[in-house]
Amino acid sequence: MFQRLKGAIDSRIAEEQARQRQAAEQQRSQTPGRSSSLRRSNSRALSPSKRPGDLPQGKGPDPAEFDPRFVVGEDEPSRTATPAPAQDKDESAQPQAAGDGDAAKEDREAAEPAKDAKPTVSTELPTEIRVRLRKLEKLEPKYSELLRSYRIAHARVSAIEPFEASLREHTPLTSINDPGALIEYLNQITLKGDMVMEELKRVSGERDSFKQKLEEAEKRATKAQDDLDNLRLEKETATAADGKSTDADSGVVAESESVKSPTVEESEEFFSYDSELPRVKKELQEREEQIGKLEEENKSLKNEVTSAKESAEQLVRNLETATSDLQALKETKEKSDTEAVEKAEALQSTADGLRKSADELRESLEKAQKDLERHENERNAYESTTTDLRSSLDKANKDLEELRKTSAETSESGEAEKRLHVEIEKLESELNELRASSTKHEKRSETLNNLVSTLKEQLKDAETEKNRLKKEIEEQAKSAAQEKQEPERAATADKTETTAPGAAKKKNNKKKKKGGKGGAAVSATPDRPGTAMAAEPEKTEKTDVADSLTVEEGVKLRETIDEIQSTLKEKDEELEKLRHDVDDKNAAIERLQGKLKDQDDLKEELDDLRQELIDVGQEHVEAKDKLKDLQAEKSALQSNMEKLEKEISELKTSQASSATSESERQKLATDFEELKTKADSLETDLSAAQQLAAQRFKDLTDLRDVLQKAQPELNALRKEVTELKNVKDDLSKKETEIRKLETKEKDLRSEIATYKSQVAARDVEIKTLNDKLKQETNKNSALDQTCTKAQRDLEKLEGERADAVEGRERLAKDLSKAQEELKTSRANLKNLEQQAEKLNRDASSMREEIELKGAQYASAQSLMNSMQDQTQEIGTQMKEVRERCESLEEELADAHRLLSERSREGETMRRLLADVEGRAEARVKEMRERMDLAIEERDRAEDQANTIGRRRARELDDLKQKVRDAERALTRVQEDKGELAASEKELRRQKEELERKATQATEEVAEVRAAMGQLRDALDEGEKQMREVEREKGELRKTIEETQSRLEKVQKSSKSLAEDVRTLKQTKSPVESSRSSFESGRGRVGSPPVLKGRSPSIASAVGQNAAPDMSMDLVYLKNVLLQFMEQKDKKHQMQLVPVLGMLLHFDRKDEQKWMSAITTR
């Protein structure tokens, strides 16, 4: 719109210059001094048009940043010709572009005779005019300062915007208006580094303490092992000595007791049974207590297994947090290079310490392995469970190694390594604890095995004794009928045979309980029956009493033996149950570990998919921006094309239009076939999408450059089109325009109906896509904190996808429409009747479109009426200006003199600006040199960081090997943990949760993959749209070139008509026209803000009749500017608002209206 104003003002200036030339020729004979002064003033007035940079270019800053004293007030005369230089410049450029050099020749002819007229006019100026001219002189330095401050503000804005963009990309900040947030962000980074260093120091201290504890524990273990070996040797020697002594004692006792009565001997043997029963019960109680202790230990071990699993989960979480922290550290890598070097050195020292500690741990583990291998033969009962646990733990270790590998590949900073060191030290401490617990469990298992073996031996002995007692009772019942001597002898023999081995067995059991030694007392049993058989004939009565006592004791022994067997069976059943539970738990642990493995794989796939989403989103955002620019240009070109086609279609006949439509349909059909082939090729070439994306990015940048280059050409074409339209509207009549528009309204109505249907379908799709977006964001928010960024990218991508889908549907509908039109055209060729019916339907649809477009035509008519009113107002203004021309000629001469002085001051300001620019260039060079040095330092730091990263990778590999060795020891230690049964419920719950999470993860992965597929389809559709837009752009360029040629012809004809009108006016009233042209030129060149009434001196001279005309002119200008601004990009509109406000002296309300019109578009 600003260019349109320039064109209108330039055309008026060209007319007024011709009138000035005639007025100068007439006044040369009367007042040569005045004419010379006028010539000099005109030449000086035209000098500011050649000043470079009077108008600010590019973006405009906020007008509130300017100093209020630089703003021209309403009480001062608005004689400052601020917009004149740019207008004169554009005026001189446009006629040259059009090929018409008459205005320039007239300027030269008017400038040559006006050189000798200044001195006489300057002496004749009145005092009031001089006072006003002095005020104008005061305004001139303010103008230069205002221009300078405007340029400074513009430079500031252009420098601030990229800085803010980089802040948004790399930091959580959004603008530079909040320095406190930036300080907090930097403080947080420093605090994070300090916390990491403190954590490293704490972990190193803990590592040293654990190392000392480990050494002490190893020493204790070696001492305990030595003590055990010594005790075993002592026990073996003691068993040998006890065996010899028991043999000797048994022989002496047998000889001494042969002299005495056998009744005393038998009573002592029955007393030994009574003493044996409580001992067996005590042993059973002790074993039950040991079993309870074992169960408690199993529970504690299960709790330790759960804690180990939780620590593994914490490891995974720590790794995820490490990845997120790594991303943040990558962003702040340039700032913290020096700190990273220091931290790397510290980490190297800690890594060396960890290597030494790992070597020591390896040696200690090898020792422990040797010790454990000794006890493997004694634990054959637990081998079935240990193998399962080993396999499950190996799987878990593999998962941990994979996680560590991924963390080692992704980690480029020190925090991930520190956390790994912490986890390694925790595992070492757990290893030490598990070693101690393993030794305890081994000792306990040995004691249990010994107790079980002793119980089994005792059971066997009790069974043998029971069988013997049964046999004795049966034999006594059979021999009751025989003689007394024979049964007595048989009974005594049997009793001696049974009691002697019973006593020997009991003694053997006692010896086993004390020292674990037996077998020596059995040799003494065959001597006692011999002595008893020699003494039996003397004591027959006492043997009967002994028989009754032995029967009662045998019954009691049976009961106790049955109880013992039942308890042992119960214990065996409990042990079998525990083993089954352990097997079930091991199977459940294997399942859970498999699911954990699957979940880790799913997490890795999710991370890959997220990265792909981010890459695709960035590419899609760029493609969307380019599509928006191309669509905006396409809409502008289409609007221009529609207007031009309306004008061009007048010359074409109906036959030509039908031929062109058929040719266009054929082109569309060919294009549709080409698009089909392209779509098939794109579907087959999906594997090379990344390479194509890079090529598309380059092509899009080239297109953007081409479009930026083509924008000035399009602006010039738009100006010419608007000028041609105004001329054509003035020349043409309303009735002919309505008839012509009716022919085109039919086409427009069909297009509007298609557009409405497209808009409705797009709205439905947008709603569905928004619902899907909400669901996806709700799901992704539960996964990780890193998913928030992916969700934002997804929302942007979904919006872009919606736009791309809309474009695709629109193109598909256009193609379908083209196919339908082809079919109808073929049917029309076959059947003339069907063609007539179709034409009738088209006519009805066109009439409906005419009704819809009535509002647009009414607006166009209102514009035409406003133009006619403007011409009438200009005529009335010309009449009033002619009446006051004589009184203002003297003021013009002084004004020209002041303008010459102002031009001198402007030259001085230019010199100052050149000096300032030179200094700025020197500063820029210095800053560039500093920037190069900083870049070199950054490259060096990056090289150092790469070397440090490689070292860390090697160190991490060594640490991984050490951790593997440690984990192998862990597997052996955790084999005993599989016997725990208390954590069964927790394991089931965890299993269910893991299954649920796995299902959720699979569903989310499927959804993400579907979204990826949709985004890829949207990208392909966007590429298709780009190609179609490029093709349409080429066609539009061809049509624009044709319209340019026509416009040039029309311009030439309009200029020739304008010259004829001027010549007719000059022949009628040469004197009045010269004055009026001179005054109108002065009013438009010198001070265009007079129209707003801000100059009281000129407003008072013009009078009250000019005020309403001026206000009407301003209203029209504002309406036209609004229509122009509504068709452009919002950024350019926002930048041009303060410039237009300065030129047209907007107040705050007007600026707010403009801003609201821009934002609501």
43's CB contacts (< 8 A; 6+ apart) are 111, 114, 115
Last residue of a domain, one of 979, 1009, 1044: 979
Q: Is residue 495 part of a domain?
A: yes
Q: H-helix or E-strand containing 1036? A: helix 984-1068
The two counts, helices (H) then strands (E), for the chain are 26, 0
Instruction: Name the nearest CA neighbour of 1113 among 1091, 1093, 1084.
Output: 1091
Give whole-number Cα distances, 821 to 45, 652, 758, 847, 1046, in Å: 62, 21, 18, 20, 31
Lowest mean pLDDT among 619-633, 767-781, 927-941, 1130-1144: 1130-1144
CA distances from 442 to 13, 227, 310, 387, 711 (A): 111, 15, 26, 17, 87
Which residue among 929, 961, 979 closes a domain?
A: 979
- Residue 753 inside a domain? The answer is no
pLDDT at 1055 > cutoff 70: yes
Angle of the 540-648 helix axis to the 414-478 helix axis, nearest 10: 150
Over residues 455-459, mean pLDDT: 70
Domain presence at residue 499: yes
Same domain, 364 and 478: yes
- For residue 896, give every residue at least 6 positions away whose Cβ sits within 8 Å of its Cβ, in sequence order, or none: 37, 38, 40, 41, 42, 44, 45, 118
Instruction: Express each pLDDT in 918-936 by its tens digit.
Output: 888 888 888 888 888 888 8
Q: Are 564 and 461 in contact (CB under 8 A)?
A: no
| Other Cβ atoms closer than 10 A to 639 | 13
- Predicted confidence at residue 825, as pLDDT, reads 66
Residue pair 129/894 in contact (Cβ under 8 Å)? The answer is yes
Q: How far is CA 700 from CA 626, 631, 935, in A?
A: 7, 14, 29
Contacts of range 63-68, beta carbons closer than 8 Å, 24 or more positions apart: 63/1138, 63/1141, 63/1142, 63/1151, 65/149, 65/153, 66/146, 66/149, 66/150, 66/153, 67/145, 67/149
User: Is residue 400 predicted with pLDDT exceeding 70?
Assistant: no
Kindly state whether residue 615 falls inside one of the protein's structural domains. no
At 85, the pLDDT band (50, 70, 90 cuts) reads very low
C-beta of residue 42 within 8 angstroms of C-beta of residue 127: no
* Side-chain half-sphere exposure of 541, counting CA atoms within 13 A: 0
Contacts of 741 (CB under 8 A, 6+ apart): 646, 850, 853, 857
Q: Which domain holds residue 251?
A: 184-602+941-979
Band (181; pLDDT cuts 50, 70, 90): confident
Write phi, then psi, for 362 (nearest 5 degrees). Answer: -65, -45
Query: Distance between CA atoms of 1133 and 1155, rounded to whole angstroms?
Result: 8
Taking residues 512-518, report their average pLDDT.
42
Map tokens 């990344």 to a residue.
Answer: 690
How far apart (Å, rounded) are the C-alpha atoms in residues 803 and 811?
12
pTM surpassing 0.85?
no
User: Tokens at residue 181, please?
Assistant: 């947030």
Cβ contacts of 898 within 8 Å, gap of 6 or more? 133, 136, 137, 140
Spatial CA neighbour of 1118 closest among 1092, 1099, 1093? 1092
Q: Are residues 210 and 230 in the same domain?
A: yes
pLDDT tens digits for range 994-1007: 888 878 878 877 88
Residue 178 placed within a domain: no
* Residue in this structure with the two tokens 């490029």, named with its chain if needed: 1030
Q: Which of 872, 591, 861 is nearest to 732 (CA)?
A: 861
In SS3 terms, 579-622 reads as HHHHHHHHHHHHHHHHHHHHHHHHHHHHHHHHHHHHHHHHHHHH
Same domain, 204 and 77: no
Q: How far is residue 745's CA from residue 848's CA, in Å, rounded to a whole number?
A: 9
Residue 232 and residue 275 in one domain = yes
pLDDT of 686 higher than 50: yes
pLDDT-wise least confident of 36-50, 323-337, 938-952: 36-50
Tell me how many degrees the CA angle 1044-1048-1050 measures, rounded to the nearest 5. 115
Asked if residue 693 has pLDDT above 60, the reply is: yes
**Domain boundary residue, one of 953, 979, 1005:** 979
Query: pLDDT exceeding 90 applies to what percent of the chain?
Result: 1
871 within 8 A of 53, measured Cβ to Cβ? no
Whether 509 is covered by a domain: the verdict is: yes
> Residue 428 half-sphere exposure, CB side, CA atoms within 13 Å?
29
**312: its two tokens:** 């593994």
Q: What is the pLDDT of residue 384?
A: 61
Best CA proximity match to 1057, nearest among 727, 803, 590:
727
Assess whether 371 and 308 both reside in one domain.
Answer: yes
Q: Is residue 141's pLDDT more than 70?
A: yes
Same domain flag for 929 and 964: no
- Binned at pLDDT 50, 70 and 90, residue 658 comes out as low
Q: Average per-residue pLDDT in the chain? A: 69
Q: What token pair was written down for 142?
A: 């303010």
Q: Are residues 41 and 94 in the same domain?
A: yes
| Rounded CA separation 1052/1040 (Å) | 18
Q: How many CB atoms lie within 10 A of CB 1094?
A: 18
Q: What's 732-788 look like in SS3?
A: CCHHHHHHHHHHHHHHHHHHHHHHHHHHHHHHHHHHHHHHHHHHHHHHHHCCCCCHH
- For the chain, the domain total comes to 2
C-beta of residue 236 within 8 angstroms of C-beta of residue 458: no
The structure tokens listed for 1008 are 């993400």
- Residue 327: exposure state from Cβ atoms within 10 A (0-12, 13-18, ≥19): exposed
Q: In this structure, is residue 391 part of a structural domain?
A: yes
Q: In 21-118, where do the E strands start and end?
A: none
Tens of pLDDT, residue by residue over 295-306, are 787 777 777 777
Asked if 111 and 52 count as a contact pair (C-beta separation under 8 A), the reply is no
Same domain? For 142 and 202 the reply is no
| Cβ partners under 8 Å of residue 537, min gap 6 | 485, 488, 489
Q: Residue range 253-278: average pLDDT?
A: 48
Residue 129 has pLDDT above 80, yes or no: yes
Does 322 lie in the same domain as 394?
A: yes
- The answer on pLDDT for 50 being more than 70 is no
Q: Do residues 249 and 263 both lie within one domain? A: yes
Determine contact, residues 19/1078, Cβ cutoff 8 Å. yes
Q: Does residue 586 form part of some domain?
A: yes
Q: Are 276 and 506 in contact (CB under 8 A)?
A: yes
Surface-to-core class of residue 672, CB atoms within 10 Å of its CB (0-12 exposed, 13-18 middle, 19+ buried): middle
Other CB atoms closer than 10 Å to residue 444's CB: what's the count? 14
Chain segment 186-206, per-residue pLDDT in tens: 999 999 899 999 989 988 888
CB-CB neighbours of 14 under 10 Å: 23
pLDDT at 190: 92
Say whether both 412 and 278 belong to one domain.
yes
Structural contact between residues 845 and 750, judged by C-beta atoms closer than 8 angstroms: yes
- For the record, the structure tokens of 235 come out as 């026990």
CB 1104 within 8 A of CB 1131: no
Is pLDDT at 171 greater than 70 in this prediction?
yes
Q: What is the mean pLDDT of residues 91-112?
A: 41
Q: How confident is the model at residue 867 (pLDDT cuts 50, 70, 90)?
A: confident
* Phi, psi at 119, each rounded to 5°: -60, -35
Percent of the chain as helix, strand, coil, to the nearest 5? 90, 0, 10
How many Cα atoms are found within 13 Å in the side-chain-facing hemisphere of 100? 21
Q: Are residues 346 and 433 in the same domain?
A: yes
